[in-house]
Amino acid sequence: MAFAKVKMKQLKFLFPLIALCLLLGTGRANAQWTVIDPSNIAQSIVNSSKSLVQESTTAQNMINNFKETVKIYQQAKKYYDALQSVNNLVRDARKVQQTVLMLGDISGYYVNNFKKMLTDPNFTSAELSAIASGYTRILEEANGVLGDLKQVVNITTLSMTDKDRMEVVDDCYKEMKRLKNLTAYFTNKNISVSYLRAKKKADTQRVVNLYGDGSEKYW
């Protein structure tokens, strides 16, 4: 019973409607504190991406509009880095932490790779728009998983046993992991398209230089 209380206490720490207090700054005494909800972060990226798709008519428009998405992610990365540093968690609280961090990984796949794709001449504006839409759909699904996690950890809203609650935590973890793997697959497939197009023009080295060295296989 005492151990179960410890588990729920840690879950509520990580996810009191999943807000986490973070120390921002570089160790200064006057560093600011803020409360960040990762579901709001993900939704902001989704909203920004939808605007990107709807409002961008050229590759240059898309590059300019994508800067807002990058800005949101860079701010969010401070949260994910701080969450990564939280240690000494029991198993189920650790799964909550890892589930949220995987959402950060999905966002990172999107932002870091799509930023490169925007400079890749092997993609048309229409294709870039379709790729952005694909990432956005995955992010929306991932944010839905996070919503389920928020509901189950907020014990005041649901009449569930600890066992039932932990089963839902486990299911959310598995689904987020699936979406993370899907994002990696989606990214690599798109990069492979660029590589194959470059191969026809004997220009594969530029693709390798853009997306990674030979240790990262996309084709």
Do residues 81 and 22 lie in contact, with contact meaning Cβ atoms separated by under 8 Å?
no
At 79 the pLDDT is: 86
pLDDT of residue 156: 56
What Cα–Cα distance (Å) separates residue 93 from each residue in 4, 23, 155, 190? 11, 21, 14, 35
Regions of the chain where pLDDT drops below 50: 1-4, 6, 13, 15-35, 157, 214-215, 218-219
Q: Report pLDDT for 107.
A: 95
- pLDDT the model gives residue 89: 73
pTM score of the predicted model: 0.80
Interval 58-71: pLDDT, tens: 778 888 889 999 99
DSSP SS3 for 124: coil
Segment holding 24, helix H or strand E: strand 20-24
Domain boundaries, the chain: 2-198
pLDDT for the residue numbered 26: 31
Amino acid symbol at 1: M
The helix-helix angle for 204-211 and 162-200 (nearest 10°) equals 150
**The two structure tokens encoding residue 179:** 């979406």
C-alpha dist (Å) from residue 126 to 53, 54, 115, 155: 9, 11, 16, 45
